[in-house]
C-alpha cells in the first residue's frame, strides 16, 4: 500500500502526460504534447516498445538488493497511457524472471515474454484489459548486464561490498522492466532496501538522507524524479558511502577512504554549474551531486540525472582532468534535457556535450586551457578517421553508427565550426534557445537541422552553402569548412617529441611541469617504434611504469606494447587488473592483439585474471574481441 501514497509525489510533467486523452487531440495540440509523450516519427530499433500505441509514463520501483545472491528484485509499478482501442503494451526485458503481472487491484493480467534477441533482450507483452496501472513482480538475473556487484577487495575500504548500475545505452532493461528507449520519457520513483550498514543513492531527489528501518539488518532509501527522463538515466549506487557538500547545491558521495582526494579534485564543481547556467540557462534538476565509484567503473563518467557517476581515475591530485566533470555536467543540458531520440542520434548528446564541456572549461580556466583540450580532441578525430579506414568510411558519419569517438570529436568540431561561422553571439543565443525550446524532449538529427534552419539560416542560400549542414550531419569524413585552433602549449610539446625522436635524452626535455594533457600529446605523438634504450630512458627519467596517473600510464603502456617492451609487463598486468575504465583498458587489449602470438597470449592471460573485476559491459566486449582476434 505504501506504493500508492508515494505515487502522490508525482507532479508537473508527469501529470501533463497522464492528463486526458492526449493521443486523440487536435493536430495543433498534439504537436505541443506529442514530443513529451514520445518521439514523433523516429523509430528505435533497439527497443521492442510501440510507444505510439501504448506507453509508460511513470515507473515506481520497490526493490531489494540481495548481496548474498547478487540479485535485485521486487515490484515495478508502471502507469500506462494507451491509445483508444489498444489493449496491449510492450516493454523491454533482458533476462528478467517475471513472477506475476497484475493491475493495481491485484487482478492478474495476461502476459508473454518473447524470445530473447542478444542485448536487446525480450519483448514483454501485457494484455491491459483496460488497466492503466500494472504491477510486475520480478527478479533480475545475477548476471544482469547493467549491474556490477563488487566484492569488498575491489573497493577503496576493502571491507564492505558495493553495487552500482550503468544504464546507457540499453542495459537498464536487465534490472527493471519498462520501455527502455530514449524517446520514451518517464517520471519515476523508487524505494530500495539494502543491508543496514550500506548507503543507497539513486539518480533522483533523495527523500531519505539517512534511510529508514526496513526489517532486521535492513534499511530502505526512497527517491523521486519529478521530470520525465529517458530510462538510461536511471541509476543506483550502494556501498559504504559518505557525503560532503561542495557548494550550495553540489556535493560528492564516495567511500570515506576516497573523500578527501575526491573533494579536493572536485572543488570547482559549483563554479562549473554557475558557468554553465550563464551560458545556457538555468540548471533545471535541483541538486548536482557526483558519486565517485571504485576503479571498476567502466566509463570516465556517466551523466545520471542529478547524480553524475565518475571514475576515481580522474583524480590525479592536480585537478587536471576536471573537464570530465564539465562534460557530465554539460549533459544536464545536452542529453538529459534535450535527448537523442534514438541511438543513431547519439552525437546530439555526446558531440553537443563535448562542445559545451569545452565552453565551461574556457569560462573557468581560460582560453588557452580550452584550446589545448580542443586540440587534443582534434588529434583524436584525426586518429579515429585514420583507424576507421579513412574519410570515406561510413563509420566516420555523425548520424548512424559512428566508430571510435567520432560522435564526440566530429560532433564538437561541427558545433565549433558553427560558432566560428555564425559568430559567438548569434550561436550562443541560438544554443541557449535550443535547449529551452526542446527541454525535456527527445530530438532527432533532422529535428536539430530543421530547428537551426528555422531560427538562424532562414532561407539564406549563401549561409546555407557556407555551413554545409547536411554534409556534417550525414556525410563521411571532415567537411572542408572544419575549424581547428592549434594550442601554443601543445606546439611546445611537439618540439620535445621531435627532440627526443632525434636522440636527445629524456632528462633534457622540459617535462617538469607538464600536465596530463601535455603528457598525452607527448606520448601519443612519439613514433610507434622506438629503441629499447629510449623506452628505458623515458621510464627511468619519468617513472612511467609506476605512474599513478591513469591517462599517462595507459598512453605509456600503449607505446610499450607497440614495441613489445617487456619491462612494462608487470606494470601492464597491475594496471589491467586494478582499473576497469574502458577508455584506458580497451586500447591496451587491442594493442596486444595486434602483436601476434606474443601479444594475444598476454591479452588472454591478463583478461582471465582481470575480468572478474570488470563491469559486464566491458568484459563482454573484450571477450568478443579476443575471440575474433583468433
Contact present, 395 and 401 (Cβ < 8 Å): yes
Task: Give the one entry of Zn ion, ligand BES, none that residue 60 binds, where binding means its C-beta sits below a cut-off of 5 to 8 angstroms depending on kind.
Answer: none
410 scored as a contact of ligand BES (CB under 6 A): no
Of 36, 262, 324, 348, the one binding ligand BES by CB under 6 A: 324
Contact present, 310 and 301 (Cβ < 8 Å): yes
Nearer to ligand BES, 78 or 146 (CB): 146
Question: 349's torsion region: left (phi>0), alpha (psi -120 to 50) or beta?
Answer: alpha
Nearer to ligand BES, 302 or 415 (CB): 302
Give the span between the Cα atoms of 395 and 14, in whole angstroms.
38
Select from 146-154, 192-200, 301-309, 502-510 the region that touches ligand BES (CB under 6 A): 301-309
289 scored as a contact of ligand BES (CB under 6 A): no
Select from 75-83, 251-259, 325-333, 477-485 the region that touches ligand BES (CB under 6 A): 325-333
Cell numbers given for 586: 580497451
Closest listed residue to residue 224, CA positions, set 191, 177, 178: 191
412 scored as a contact of ligand BES (CB under 6 A): no
Q: Which ranges constitute the DSSP H helices of 238-315? A: 259-265, 269-280
Nearer to ligand BES, 177 or 300 (CB): 300
Determine the angle formed by the axes of helices 550-562 and 569-576, rounding to 10 degrees: 130
Contact present, 392 and 477 (Cβ < 8 Å): yes
206 scored as a contact of ligand BES (CB under 6 A): no
- Residue 583 beta carbon to ligand BES: minimum distance, rounded to whole angstroms: 5
Select from 322-330, 378-386, 443-451, 524-532 the region that touches ligand BES (CB under 6 A): 322-330
Q: Which residues contact 85 (CB under 8 A, 6 or more apart)?
A: none
Nearer to ligand BES, 23 or 376 (CB): 376
- Residue 543 beta carbon to Zn ion: minimum distance, rounded to whole angstroms: 32
- In the region spanning residues 309 to 368, those forming contacts with Zn ion, defined by CB under 5 A, are 350, 353
Determine the angle formed by the axes of helices 516-525 and 550-562, rounding to 10 degrees: 10
328 scored as a contact of ligand BES (CB under 6 A): yes
Contact present, 94 and 173 (Cβ < 8 Å): yes
Task: Give the one entry of Zn ion, ligand BES, none that residue 300 binds, where binding means its C-beta sits below a cut-off of 5 to 8 angstroms depending on kind.
Answer: ligand BES
Select from 186-194, 239-247, 274-282, 321-329 the region that touches ligand BES (CB under 6 A): 321-329
Please state, in angstroms and as integers, the Cα–Cα distance from residue 37 to each residue in 106, 176, 291, following that order: 27, 20, 30
Site string for ligand BES, 346-365 (x = CB under 6 A): ----x---------------
Contact present, 286 and 205 (Cβ < 8 Å): yes
- Residue 353 beta carbon to ligand BES: minimum distance, rounded to whole angstroms: 6
Strand partners of residue 93: 122
- Residue 525 beta carbon to ligand BES: minimum distance, rounded to whole angstroms: 20
555 scored as a contact of ligand BES (CB under 6 A): no
185 scored as a contact of ligand BES (CB under 6 A): no
Nearer to Zn ion, 304 or 590 (CB): 304
Collapsed DSSP state (helix, strand, coil) of residue 17: helix
Closest listed residue to residue 236, CA positions, set 293, 179, 186: 293
169 scored as a contact of ligand BES (CB under 6 A): yes
Site string for ligand BES, 556-585 (x = CB under 6 A): ---------------------------x--
- Residue 377 beta carbon to ligand BES: minimum distance, rounded to whole angstroms: 9
Query: Residues with catalytic annotation?
Result: 328, 408
384 scored as a contact of ligand BES (CB under 6 A): no
Task: Give the one entry of ligand BES, Zn ion, none that residue 168 binds, where binding means its C-beta sits below a cut-off of 5 to 8 angstroms depending on kind.
Answer: ligand BES
586 scored as a contact of ligand BES (CB under 6 A): no
Q: Which residues contact 346 (CB under 8 A, 6 or more apart)?
A: 169, 340, 402, 407
- Residue 617 beta carbon to ligand BES: minimum distance, rounded to whole angstroms: 8
Give the span between the Cα atoms of 445 and 93, in whole angstroms.
28
Give the span between the Cα atoms of 226 and 10, in whole angstroms.
6
Task: Give the one entry of Zn ion, ligand BES, none that residue 302 binds, where binding means its C-beta sits below a cut-off of 5 to 8 angstroms depending on kind.
Answer: ligand BES
Select from 13-21, 242-250, 324-332, 461-469 the region that touches ligand BES (CB under 6 A): 324-332
Nearer to ligand BES, 279 or 302 (CB): 302
618 scored as a contact of ligand BES (CB under 6 A): no
303 scored as a contact of ligand BES (CB under 6 A): yes
Contact present, 168 and 407 (Cβ < 8 Å): no
Give the span between the Cα atoms of 164 and 365, in whole angstroms.
32
300 scored as a contact of ligand BES (CB under 6 A): yes
Cell numbers given for 192: 530500495
302 scored as a contact of ligand BES (CB under 6 A): yes
Q: Is 412 exposed, middle or buried (0-12, 13-18, 19+ CB in 10 A)?
A: buried
Please state, in angstroms and as integers, the Cα–Cα distance from residue 112 to each residue in 61, 230, 459, following that order: 21, 25, 51
221 scored as a contact of ligand BES (CB under 6 A): no
Cα-Cα-Cα-Cα dihedral sign, residues 609, 612, 615, 621: positive
Q: What angle do CA 175, 622, 123 make, to 5 degrees?
A: 30
Give the span between the Cα atoms of 402 and 361, in whole angstroms.
26
313 scored as a contact of ligand BES (CB under 6 A): no
- In the region spanning residues 82 to 141, those forming contacts with ligand BES, defined by CB under 6 A, are none
Closest residue to ligand BES in the complex (CB): 300
Cell numbers given for 209: 538522507
Nearer to ligand BES, 136 or 184 (CB): 184
Contact present, 496 and 522 (Cβ < 8 Å): yes
620 scored as a contact of ligand BES (CB under 6 A): no
Nearer to ligand BES, 283 or 542 (CB): 283
44 scored as a contact of ligand BES (CB under 6 A): no
Q: What angle do CA 95, 618, 319 make, to 5 degrees?
A: 130
299 scored as a contact of ligand BES (CB under 6 A): yes
Cα-Cα-Cα-Cα dihedral sign, residues 539, 545, 546, 549: positive
518 scored as a contact of ligand BES (CB under 6 A): no
Strand partners of residue 101: 136
Give the span between the Cα atoms of 79 and 131, in whole angstroms.
9
Q: Which residues bind ligand BES (CB under 6 A)?
A: 168-169, 299-303, 324, 327-328, 331, 350, 408, 583
Q: Which residues bind Zn ion (CB under 5 A)?
A: 350, 353
Amino acid at each position: 500500500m505504501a506504493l500508492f501514497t508515494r505515487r502522490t509525489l508525482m507532479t508537473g510533467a508527469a501529470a501533463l502526460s497522464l492528463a486526458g486523452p492526449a493521443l486523440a487531440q487536435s493536430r495543433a495540440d498534439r504537436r505541443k504534447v506529442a514530443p513529451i509523450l514520445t518521439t514523433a516519427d523516429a523509430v528505435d530499433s533497439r527497443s521492442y516498445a510501440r510507444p505510439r500505441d501504448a506507453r509508460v509514463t511513470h515507473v515506481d520501483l520497490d526493490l531489494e538488493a540481495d548481496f548474498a545472491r547478487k540479485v535485485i528484485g521486487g515490484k515495478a509499478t508502471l502507469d500506462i497511457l494507451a491509445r483508444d482501442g489498444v489493449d496491449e503494451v510492450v516493454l523491454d526485458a533482458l533476462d528478467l524472471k517475471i513472477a506475476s503481472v497484475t493491475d493495481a487491484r491485484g487482478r492478474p493480467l495476461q502476459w508473454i515474454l518473447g524470445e530473447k534477441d542478444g542485448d536487446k533482450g525480450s519483448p514483454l507483452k501485457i494484455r491491459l484489459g483496460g488497466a492503466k496501472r500494472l504491477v510486475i513482480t520480478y527478479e533480475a538475473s545475477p548476471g544482469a548486464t547493467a549491474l556490477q556487484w563488487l566484492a569488498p577487495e575491489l573497493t577503496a575500504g576493502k571491507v564492505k561490498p558495493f553495487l552500482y548500475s550503468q544504464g546507457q545505452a540499453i542495459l537498464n532493461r536487465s534490472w527493471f522492466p519498462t520501455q527502455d528507449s530514449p524517446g520514451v520519457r518517464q517520471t519515476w520513483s523508487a524505494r530500495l532496501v539494502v543491508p543496514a550498514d550500506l548507503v543507497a543513492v539513486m539518480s533522483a531527489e533523495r527523500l531519505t538522507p539517512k534511510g529508514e528501518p526496513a526489517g532486521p539488518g535492513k534499511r530502505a532509501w526512497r527517491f523521486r524524479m519529478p521530470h520525465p527522463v529517458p530510462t538510461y538515466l536511471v541509476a543506483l549506487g550502494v556501498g559504504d558511502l559518505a557525503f560532503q557538500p561542495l557548494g550550495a547545491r553540489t556535493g560528492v558521495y564516495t567511500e570515506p577512504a576516497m573523500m578527501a582526494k575526491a573533494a579536493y579534485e572536485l572543488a570547482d564543481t559549483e563554479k562549473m554549474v554557475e558557468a554553465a547556467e550563464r551560458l545556457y540557462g538555468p540548471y533545471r534538476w535541483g541538486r548536482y551531486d557526483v558519486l565517485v565509484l571504485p576503479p571498476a567503473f567502466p566509463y570516465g563518467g556517466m551523466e545520471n540525472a542529478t547524480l553524475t557517476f565518475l571514475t576515481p581515475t580522474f583524480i590525479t591530485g592536480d585537478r587536471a582532468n576536471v573537464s570530465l566533470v564539465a562534460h557530465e555536467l554539460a549533459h544536464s543540458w545536452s542529453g538529459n534535457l534535450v535527448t537523442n531520440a534514438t541511438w543513431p542520434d547519439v552525437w546530439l548528446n555526446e558531440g553537443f556535450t563535448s562542445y559545451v564541456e569545452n565552453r565551461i572549461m574556457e569560462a573557468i580556466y581560460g582560453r588557452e586551457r580550452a584550446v589545448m583540450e580542443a586540440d587534443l580532441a582534434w588529434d583524436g578525430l584525426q586518429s579515429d578517421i585514420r583507424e576507421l579506414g579513412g574519410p570515406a568510411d561510413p563509420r566516420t558519419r555523425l548520424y548512424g553508427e559512428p566508430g571510435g569517438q567520432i560522435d564526440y570529436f566530429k560532433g564538437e568540431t561541427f558545433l565549433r565550426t558553427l560558432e566560428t561561422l555564425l559568430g559567438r553571439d548569434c550561436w550562443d543565443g541560438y544554443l541557449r534557445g535550443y535547449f529551452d525550446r526542446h527541454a525535456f524532449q527527445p530530438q532527432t538529427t533532422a529535428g536539430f537541422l530543421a530547428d537551426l534552419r528555422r531560427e538562424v539560416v532562414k532561407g539564406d542560400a549563401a549561409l546555407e552553402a557556407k555551413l554545409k549542414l547536411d554534409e556534417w550531419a550525414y556525410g563521411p569524413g571532415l567537411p572542408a569548412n572544419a575549424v581547428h585552433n592549434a594550442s601554443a602549449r601543445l606546439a611546445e610539446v611537439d618540439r620535445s617529441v621531435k627532440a627526443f625522436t632525434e636522440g636527445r635524452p629524456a632528462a633534457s626535455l622540459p617535462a617538469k611541469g607538464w600536465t596530463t594533457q601535455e603528457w598525452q600529446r607527448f606520448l601519443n605523438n612519439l613514433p610507434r617504434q622506438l629503441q629499447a634504450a629510449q623506452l628505458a630512458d623515458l621510464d627511468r627519467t619519468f617513472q612511467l611504469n609506476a605512474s599513478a596517473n591513469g591517462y599517462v600510464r595507459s598512453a605509456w603502456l600503449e607505446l610499450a606494447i607497440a614495441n613489445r617492451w617487456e619491462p612494462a609487463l608487470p606494470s601492464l598486468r597491475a594496471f589491467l587488473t586494478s582499473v576497469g575504465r574502458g577508455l584506458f583498458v580497451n586500447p591496451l587489449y587491442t594493442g596486444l592483439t595486434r602483436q601476434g602470438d606474443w601479444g594475444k597470449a598476454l591479452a588472454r592471460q591478463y583478461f582471465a585474471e582481470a575480468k572478474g573485476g570488470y563491469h559486464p559491459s566491458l568484459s563482454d566486449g573484450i571477450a568478443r574481441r579476443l575471440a575474433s582476434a583468433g
